[in-house]
């Protein structure tokens, strides 16, 4: 989370921020969340492959 996202919620972090955002109905765009998840999967996959190659 960026400071810009946290600012309207008094700088809250983690589950406190999530709870406050959900209570306010402030949810991320579903397609943006899906894109983020796909990119994260790609990066985790690349890390796993790299580590497996290092141990070979």
Q: How far is CA 32 from CA 28, 29, 52, in A?
A: 7, 5, 30
Answer whether 40's CB lies under 8 Å from 33's CB: no
Rounded mean pLDDT, 26-52: 94
* Cα 42 to Cα 34: distance, rounded to the nearest angstrom: 12
pLDDT at 37 over 80: yes
pLDDT of residue 16: 96
Confidence check: pLDDT of 8 > 80: yes
Q: What pLDDT is attached to residue 55? A: 86
Domain that holds residue 20: 3-54
The number of folded domains in the chain is 1
For residue 56, what pLDDT is reported?
Answer: 79
CA atoms lying within 13 Å on the CB side of residue 53: 6
- pLDDT bin (cut points 50, 70, 90) of residue 27 is confident
Mean pLDDT of 24-31: 91
């Amino acid at each position: 989370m960026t400071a810009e996202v946290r600012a309207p919620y008094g700088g809250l972090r983690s589950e406190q921020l999530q709870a406050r955002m959900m209570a306010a109905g402030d949810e991320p765009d579903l397609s943006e969340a899906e894109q983020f998840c796909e990119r994260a999967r790609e990066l985790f996959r690349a890390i796993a492959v790299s580590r497996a190659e290092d141990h070979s």
